[in-house]
Amino acid sequence: MNIVFFDVEKWERDSFETLQDEHTVSCIEEPLRAGNAGEHAAAEVISVFIYSKVDRQALDAMPDLKLITSRSTGFDHIDIGECERRGITVCNCPDYGENTVAEHVFGLLLMISHRLEEAVERTRKGGFSPRGLQGFDLRGKTLGVVGTGDIGLATIRIARGFGMDVLAFDIRPDEEAARDLGFDYVDMDRLLKVADVISLHVPANPQTRHLIDGDAFAKMKDGVVLINTARGDVVDIRALARALAEQKVAAAGLDVLPYEPVVREEAELLRSVYEETQDLSSLLANEVLVRMKNVVVTPHSAFNTKEAVERILDATVENIRRFVRGDPVNVVTDTQ
């Protein structure tokens, strides 16, 4: 097989080059785009990260493609429907980081609840007064978890350890997990109304796009905290910016934003502005949120621990080996 890995850091190469004994392997530093896909027209297998865009134009340039394996759980950067029409198998890495991402949820939440960013910055400047840094306890607060897959359940386990009450919403409730972990399923409106903190753990798809919008914020209690480690499009960030400005939302912890590949690269941002390929008001909202003092933003790094990344690399290689053997695993479909 002719295998191309995109968006590869130098230290990742050793894992991928274990396939060289049986296959032709190339490691490319930049993400896959329609503009560079033609340079790899002979690829039969590609591996991409979240910053690649595997759309119809990219697929057109790779006519021999048989397998795409994403080094992520989410796969909204891949046109799954188009892949299915072309008979291209798509795999992901679903199990690498449930505890990793859940720990990041509480990293963000503790930065907010104990005002850690302000406290650290103050002491670095020589100030040791706690005045104006009063936070709040997590114990006794109600956490609303939207989506109770592996990451959502891991988040609930940690929350229960902090002494938080937990309410959850999912279109497929796991009642056994609810009994074991001591939380209750409620409808979405009830969760929005009652929760002190809301944490999002749903995939990005047409059904979840702007799941948290202006109407959802209106239903929340005043002073709620929002945590999003899922996907940027799950939240209407223009509505979030308004809710923060109006103090409906007291604070937000965000590991994801819409248009991440655009804002990540200055050249891509300038091109999108010039060609008007993105919603400029949403791009502006991105920039506003990053600079707000009551918003903590991390660069889609919730997954990024040594252990989790090693699991991603191992799972990616295994996805390829199993596909070549005719026994594919971690296959995703357009209905997921």
- Positions annotated as catalytic residues are 231, 260, 300
| Distance separating the N- and C-terminal Cα atoms of the chain | 28
**Long-range CB contacts (< 8 A, 24+ apart) of 261-266?**
261/31, 261/50, 261/51, 261/53, 263/287, 264/51, 264/299
What residues contact residue 15 under an 8 Å CB cut-off, 6+ apart? 313, 314, 316, 317
Rounded to whole angstroms, how far apart are CA atoms 179 and 186? 14
For residue 303, give both structure tokens: 């997954």
- Assign 3-state DSSP to the chain and report helix, strand, coil percentages, each to 5: 45, 15, 40
Tell me, rounded to whole angstroms, the distance of Cα 189 from its chain centroid.
24
List the 142-146 sheet strands across, edge first. Answer: 184-185, 165-169, 142-146, 197-200, 224-228, 249-254, 295-297
Q: Is 186 exposed, middle or buried (0-12, 13-18, 19+ CB in 10 A)?
A: middle
Nearest in space to 48 (alpha carbons), one of 7, 80, 11:
7
Rounded to whole angstroms, how far apart are CA atoms 50 and 71? 8
Rg for the chain (alpha carbons), in Å? 21
Inter-residue contact 69 to 328 (CB < 8 Å):
no
